[in-house]
Amino acid sequence: MNIRANTIFAATILASITAAGDSQSEPKPNTVRVFYFGNSLTGSAMPDFHEELGKSAGKQWNCDAFLGAGWQSWQHRNELWRAMGRPVDAATQTASSRGDLTLDENLARSAAFKPRAFFAGQWDAIVIQIFGSRLYHVTDGLWGTQFDGPVNVGDVAAASDIIRIFLKKNPKGKVFIYTVWPNMQGGIVPPDDQLPAWAVEMKKRSGRIRDAEFPDRDGFDYAAQWEKPYQGDFDKPWIGNICRTRDYTNQVFEGVKENFPELWEQGRLVRIPGGELFFELDKKMRAGEMPGIRTIKDFYTDVQHIRAGLPAYSIAALFYAAIFAQKPDSLDFTIYDDPEKYGPDMHHDRGELIPITPERARVLHETIWELLTKHPHAWGAR
């Protein structure tokens, strides 16, 4: 843990533990309508399973998800602005920061499917996945997409703009910031005669296999990558993957918290710390506490996606515990243990299922609860 993050954590740990005891006596929601903004790493939690998973614990967990392939927060924000009939430029962002944006219901009804679903629904909460770009970056175009003018695509600004749109229609809503795990470096693609069956099929469909499908597992140290300091915004933020770290994600959350101090004080701004969960699980795996799993690297399918079964369930259970403020040990984990439920895996994102046993589930549930009651950005920090 770097000095800055360690200071934040140490300064709040005592208050967190005390507040966690208080928060456990507060009423827990039985019904939550939640909308997810993210990409395939939100999809890794299998949102289609969430309603059934919630029912297994006596909860009504209604959700919808806007998941763009590889999308970052600014892309979701831009789509919402366009659905509102606003240009993607500095004037719209300024109006957003003042809370002056209004929704034209007629335009919203003609918007693309997922923005339309978001604007048409009544939501108790949203989840915004942070995928890592820059804290602050003003540009008039990115990744081949031209904007209507210069706009800040940094993670803090983009997430904050989404939150303002959400709160305009759902003023009592709750906001969850979902932060994910670091990615590995790509490895070496085996010769054609050594490719596994899934890779042979993938190559037939696309004509090639990327090195990202075969990560450098031996060269990856989860803790070392997670604890890298963020070195500032620059032109190629993907170099060194320093955006997928504790320091960067902490800074994003602190920036959002600074923009919404009342939301934070009211307990309506909460972190879902996926990367931190994997960090804690990795320690337990290496200590032999997770039967049959040696390191968190076993959770990965490729350089960043996670496998079906226990890995997918781990994020779903974390979502549940954060959203419902309840220990996930009442969930029916067997929902995630059925390979037939997942459907086709055309891109080998889920790979081979890691079975969930009662002992593995117990370790996972305990780790999630320990994390959320102690993490300075989770609900236990109240």
Give a yes or no: residue 136 inside a domain. yes
Give a yes or no: residue 193 inside a domain. no
Residue 97: pLDDT above 60?
yes
pLDDT in tens, 56-86: 999 999 999 999 999 999 999 999 999 999 9
Give a yes or no: residue 208 inside a domain. no
Give a yes or no: residue 198 inside a domain. no
pLDDT of residue 243: 86
- Which structural domain range is residue 142 located in? 3-21+28-184+220-376
Residue 331: Cβ-neighbour burial (10 angstroms; 0-12, 13-18, 19+): buried
Q: In this structure, what CATH number is given to the domain that contains residue 271?
A: 3.40.50.1110
Mean pLDDT of the residues in the chain: 90
- Which of the two residues, 26 and 25, has the higher pLDDT score? 26
Beta strands, E only, 207-277: 269-273
pLDDT of residue 232: 80
pLDDT in tens, 147-186: 999 999 999 999 999 999 999 999 999 999 999 999 999 9
Q: How many domains does the chain have?
A: 1
Give a yes or no: residue 191 inside a domain. no
Give a yes or no: residue 213 inside a domain. no
Give a yes or no: residue 200 inside a domain. no
Q: Taken in order 7, 9, 14, 15, is the CA torsion positive or negative?
A: positive
pLDDT in tens, 243-275: 899 999 999 999 999 999 999 999 999 999 999
Residue 26: pLDDT above 70?
no
- Adjacency order of strands within the sheet including 174-179: 60-67, 31-38, 125-130, 174-179, 269-273
* 177-195 CB burial, b ≥16 within 10 A, e <16: bbbbbbbbeebebeeeeeb
| pLDDT above 90: percentage of residues in the chain | 79
Give a yes or no: residue 215 inside a domain. no
